[in-house]
Chain A
Amino acid sequence: MKKLINAPDDVVDEALAGMAAAHSDLLRVIEPNVVVRGDAPRSGKVGVISGGGSGHEPMHGGFVGLGMLDAACPGAVFTSPVPDQMLAATKAVDGGAGVLHIVKNYTGDIMNFELAAELAQAEGIEVTSVVIADDVAVQDSLYTAGRRGVGGTVIAEKIVGAAAEEGQDLAAVTALCQKVQDNVRSMGMALTSCTVPAAGKPTFEIGDDEMEIGVGIHGEPGRERRAMATADEITETLLSAVLDDGVVSSGDRVLVFVNGMGGTPLLELYVVYNKVAAMCRDRGLTIERNLIGSYITSLEMAGVSITVLKLDDEMVRLWDAPVHTAALRWGV
């Protein structure tokens, strides 16, 4: 293992300290490992928090700030945070208007957020939760833990954070988050594995001539192992699966998010986007907004995921609303 670390056990703590040092104008880090917006709590504003394992940076800590998250709870690498963190985050951001938990659909995340919500409610804070489960690579969701939460989470946090920023109440913010979840779909693939620092070796073996289609954001195996193909062929596979899932149809306006998995150059993401744009045109879809870059990653894994959200006027307006975080910044 070759990594820019000091010791595997210190990676998360040192990275958080670095974030706090770099972005003291936006956020602060409180015990036990919670990234909190600098001006939280804001009286009367719905708090929006999320969390998950570390290793997906900039998600979620990089999305803490104006117009997005009020707090993020980073767990150990690829391990859900513990309830103490979500409880501390919920208390830190509660401005009396309640707190929304945006939870990615993983068994551990669900259980730990559930425990935290119970504890927060016991302390008199109104908490709602929306589970993001947008990964179409999980086909048979009846006989599994359900679809995983992946790229749609980034989109949900931006749109929902904007709604909370403009003063929408907890019920409205929660319903909006569910609407984003209902209209967003994603799928990813990997060219290489990732290495969890504490594990010290690659999570999976993959040949130079192979790729993993439908990979998760923790290097979990996906739909199938296939022979390596061209960017256009890979894009066709991913985007077809996303578009054929029954959410979008010809004539729709969409937001497209082409995401790098951590080890993919932006150059290659634009090659993918080129094909995405052509396919959307052919299918009668209008790409009204896009996001291209590495925003929900799997450490150093090379690969790409494609997320498509069916847009309406409200979602476009909230997407365009000002945001000022470590990772996303516009309109300010």
Chain B
Amino acid sequence: MSAFDSAALRRFVNLFADRVRDRREELTQLDSAIGDADHGINMDRGFSAARAKVADLDADANLGVVAKTVGMTLISTVGGASGPLYGTFFLRLATTFGDRTAVDAADLGAALRAGLEGLVQRGKAVLDDKTMVDAVSPAVDAYDAAAGEGIGPALSAAASAAATGRDRVTPLVARKGRASYLGERSANHQDPGATSSTILLEALRDAVAEG
């Protein structure tokens, strides 16, 4: 695939909503170990709503409109920290996409980086705080490094890097979010936010591959 278009973005939203639903218990279970046991529930509620809102959009809605619809819906329905964080991520994608209906590999990379910057701004987390940033940040770097090979290979690299990042921080002590209250007891638990954001990047890879 040489371009990422609105149809791919919609496939991605639907696929991610499906996977969040399938893995809702797993995400909630991870969250109950070090957080407040609602991550899967909240993500499922938000992305089910986002999927429905996107389905209501015109068939020719541009990338910016689709991403903005997802972001606004998440902010209005998810609550917790995930709502503002995932919502901001999609709003930044929307800003970067603008009114285009398709972008090339480099511009998709720029959008993902803008999304990452939104996460960092909203959550004030840095690498090794043991948050979704630890999955998304290496993923965006890996995407950029492979962008010359095209969107598919770059997204594959991104998804792999996200999973590696997610696992890399499992032994660490969380420094942001509710898990941070546990101190040493948060070590050796897989982070729910890093997990759901890895699922997001895998869904993006697979939605594009299906196209």
Contacts and interface: CB of A to CB of B under 8 A. Distances in A.
Interface string A280-304: 0000000000000000000000000
A196 B38 contact: yes
B127 interface: no
A137 B183 CA distance: 11
Contacts of A216: 36, 178, 181
Contacts of A196: 37-38, 41
B38 A76 contact: yes
A115 B84 contact: yes
Majority SS at the chain A contact face: loop
B183 A111 contact: no
A91 interface: no
B183 A140 contact: yes
B204 to A, nearest CB: 24
A76 B84 contact: no
A204 interface: yes
A172 B122 CA distance: 29
Contacts of B84: 83, 108, 111-112, 114-115
Interface in A209-266: 216, 218-221
B124 to A, nearest CB: 9
Interface in B154-184: 173-178, 180-183
Interface residues of B, number: 34
Contacts of B36: 53, 78-79, 203, 216, 218-220
A115 B75 contact: yes
A77 B41 CA distance: 10
A143 B180 contact: yes
A143 B175 contact: yes
**Most chain-A Cβ atoms within 10 A of its Cβ — which of B80, B83, B175, B182?**
B80
A196 B80 CA distance: 15
B53 interface: no
A84 interface: yes
Contact of B176 (A112, A137, A145): A145
A290 B175 CA distance: 35
A61 interface: no
Interface string A166-179: 00000000000000
Interface size range of chain A in the complex: 35 or more
A192 B45 CA distance: 28
Contacts of B174: 144
Contacts of B41: 76, 79, 196, 198-199
A138 B174 CA distance: 13
B178 A107 contact: yes
Given A76-B45, A148-B181, A111 B37 contact: no
A221 B36 CA distance: 9
B195 interface: no
A80 interface: yes
Nearest to B29: A199
A144 B175 contact: yes
Contacts of A139: 183
Interface in B74-120: 75-85
Contacts of A137: 181
B153 interface: no
A291 B177 CA distance: 31
A107 B123 contact: yes
Contact of B75 (A82, A106, A199): A82
Interface of A: 53, 75-84, 106-108, 111-112, 114-115, 137-140, 143-145, 148, 196, 198-199, 203-204, 216, 218-221
Given A115-B84, A199-B38, A220-B182, 6 more contacts: A78-B36, A79-B36, A108-B83, A144-B180, A145-B180, A148-B181
24 contacts: A75-B79, A76-B41, A80-B83, A82-B75, A82-B76, A82-B77, A83-B75, A84-B75, A107-B123, A111-B122, A111-B123, A112-B84, A137-B181, A140-B183, A144-B174, A144-B176, A145-B180, A196-B37, A203-B36, A204-B32, A219-B36, A220-B182, A221-B34, A221-B185
Instruction: In the A-B complex, list the 6 residue pairs whose CB atoms are closest, starting with the nearest.
Output: A144-B180, A108-B80, A111-B84, A108-B81, A218-B36, A79-B79
